Structure 1
Amino acid sequence: MTTFEFQVRILEQQNQVLGTKWELLQQLDPNNCKNSLEPILEGCTSNLRKQLEMLSGDRVRLDLGLRNMQDLVEDYRKKYEVEINRRPAAENEFVVLKKDANAACMNKVELQAKVDSLTDDIKSFKCLYEGEIPQVQSHISDVSVILSVDSNRDLDLDSIITQVRAQDELIALESKGEAEIQELQVTAGQHGDDLKLTKAEISDLSRWIQRIRLEIGNVEKQMAIANAEQWGDWALKDAQAKLDELEAALLQSKQELARMLQEYQELALDEHKTGPGRGDCHLLPAAGGRGVQWRELREWSGCPRRLTGLGLLLPVAAVISNTSSGAGGAGFSVGFGTSSSYSCKPS
């Protein structure tokens, strides 16, 4: 963008320089200026050709960059479409995984509650077992003492059998309680293993969710890259449009130069027809300002360096037009970039 603006400013300055030169060349003597006009025109033409070649080179370079950028945009567009097509499946999978994770969490809570209840049961059974063991041992010791001390033949077998049966039932109950405790311990171990597996599954799901989030971030970055490439494509099209405008302005400058040359030749022929005695004219101020005599401008025409310096230093836009008076005389007006304009009439 900056390069094209710089080229536009250069063309505007050259246009102003050419306009100033043309204005001063009109004030020269036709016999002397015919020889000096061709080198100036050739120089201007060569400069315009160089600028045209430079713009053509820039156009080729920009076309190559445009093709490369279009290929790159197409590649990114294909990748973006693939990612967009994959995104719904990933979102659905994420929803399913989220549901599974929620179910696993609920299962974990239920298993933890069961483990807590089983642990409480185990503790209660342990307390009962620890409280009943001394009683059973005391009963066993009492029975043994009774058997060892009592040597009477008339034994009360029914009571002994009843006591032994009660002790056997108590031992059976204790054995059953121990078996239940062992079973509860085994069940608690199984639930602990299930809890470990559930934790491992939850960690796997967390890693999977993190990976899906990273993929979503990559897709968003690719979307941002695609938007930036679209903006670059728009900027390139804008630059191409400005290049076309510059080429049109260059063509218009050439046409304007040809028209000005034709008008100058017509003015020279008119001056030649009017004769050498009517060649002096005075510049009259049309919109204010001090007047400048025609002879002083002719003195400037004797030095090409002054003309060149004047053309480079005065940023003016010369507007030269043929006017015809009521008596058939020829005249022209010169408009500068400032607020003053001067008109020339034959004396």
Structure 2
Amino acid sequence: MPQNVRGVVARKKGEPVSVETVVIPDPGPGEAVVKIQACGVCHTDLSYREGGINDEFPFLLGHEAAGVVESVGDGVVDLEPGDYVVLNWRAVCGVCRACKKGKPQYCFDTHNAKQPMTLEDGTALSPALGIGAFVEKTLVAAGQCTKVNPDAPAKVAGLLGCGMMAGLGAAVNTGGIGRGDSIAVIGCGGVGDAAIAGAQLAGATTIIAVDTDPRKLEWAKGFGATHTVNAKEEDAVEAIRAATDGNGADVVVEAVGHPETYRQAFYARDLAGTVVLVGVPYPDMKVPDIPLIDFFGRGGALKSSWYGDCLPSRDFPMYLDLYLQGRFPLDKFVTEEIALDGVEQAFEKMHKGEVLRSVVIF
């Protein structure tokens, strides 16, 4: 029987979200219904509301979530009711050319649930990142459910579903940061601070946090930043070079998604360094005007990081185990716990830079 639950819906571009009744169908083949316990408020949800992703309104927002499997559909063999899971937005296919090469983290045919969740009048909802988790229960593809240690509280476990994994994966997986390396992180929100925490975990010895907000720079120190740069007060590129013996950083993570900060990242890396773009740009943004000779004159790599190049089945359990061992400070990212009707206010706080993560608790 379909179920009626409460969820956060964005009906029109730029308008405040509302809590509405959402109809959840029974799981079909390869699908699962998950009872959500907690869901982080990510900037991507705000981007959906603002029309920065696409215009497939109305959206069912939320995607950084953990919960318990309630039911599964036909053909699901590795998941059962009662399993504690973190939701991911890249259920791998197992048969595309990337998967066949043994690199499922780059799967070219990831999938979501096939049935739509709807409003009471039958209007189909577009779930954010194929999940839609600002809701008491959600329908997902079974492959979007990653089983993890139930000792990890849902309010921190769910954060690995997007922003924290994107940031730490950008540093560790995409950037390949290692022992003794230097890294600069431009943009110290949740994703940037996760990159900083990941770099510290991997053994980087020079970790430079760059932002224009003194409060965010102070937060970055708590995640392992050894140097901070206020880009309003000093030239970020020169400051990064000064902190790295004039060379530039081995890895520069751009966690803003803006042409100017990407330009800074390009020039702040060492001659054979790596730039990693993990900040999400808006569709109308263009590559900065950098002379082609400057590309030619440097080695290294320019990379983009999608979901931190993670493999959820490998990475989610590992990082939660590190959290439970006291080695990865996921709990520091949780600024506040809120109710379902507090999402719009959480967006305002996010826009003002007042929080790292607001987390909806069910």
Q: TM class by shorter-chain length? A: under 0.3
Q: Normalization by structure 1: what TM-score?
A: 0.21
Q: Normalization by structure 2: what TM-score?
A: 0.21
Higher relative contact order, structure no. (Cα contacts within 8 Å, ≥ 6 residues apart)? 1
